[in-house]
Amino acid sequence: MNEFEARIRESFGRQTMMQTLGAELAKIDAGRVTILAPILAGSLQQHGAGHAGLAFSIGDSAAGYSALSLMPEGAEVMTVEMKINLMAPAVGDHLIAEGRVIRPGRRIMVVAADVWSVTADKRKHVAILQGTMIPV
């Protein structure tokens, strides 16, 4: 396990929101982090699909940790702003959020994430996020 993976797993473990949502780190590469989450009975909107806040939360964390993977040891990451476009209802077996760094920078990191809903035989693109992270 490389150095940034240890840092990311440690930080993720302190994000109690991720535990509440049942989310887990699925894949960690430099500049690219994937989070997987079930669509729990407690994460729904009024029509029975995953709440926008579920897709946002795992997309934001995946994007944030993709940024952290490129930051120097000892740094922590904070979301400055994040925008989400919701493209389809979050229904299926679970969600996958893939975060990535679009442009690393010392002061500002531009990040993005895709959120997919997954069933046994297909996956559907349910949301895209674009935002800004800073080291703190």
Contact positions vs a second copy (CB under 8 A)? 11-12, 14-17, 19-21, 40-48, 51-54, 56-57, 60-61, 76, 78-88, 102-103, 105, 107-108, 110, 112, 125, 128, 130-132, 134
Nearest distance from C-beta of residue 40 to a second copy, angstroms: 8
Nearest distance from C-beta of residue 119 to a second copy, angstroms: 18
Rank residues 57 and 69 by Cβ distance to a second copy and give the closer one. 57
Q: State the Cα–Cα distance between residues 5 and 43, nearest whole angstrom.
A: 27
Nearest distance from C-beta of residue 104 to a second copy, angstroms: 10
Tokens 């297909």, located at residue:
122
| Rounded (5°) CA angle 6-99-96 | 95
CB neighbour burial string for 94-116, b if at least 16 within 10 angstroms, e if fewer: bbbbbbbbeebeeeebebbbbbb
Rank residues 11 and 38 by Cβ distance to a second copy and give the closer one. 11
Rank residues 83 and 123 by Cβ distance to a second copy and give the closer one. 83
Residue 109's nearest CA partner among 98, 118, 100, 117 is: 100
Nearest distance from C-beta of residue 130 to a second copy, angstroms: 4
Residues with Cβ within 8 Å of 53's Cβ and at least 6 positions away in sequence, in order, are 43
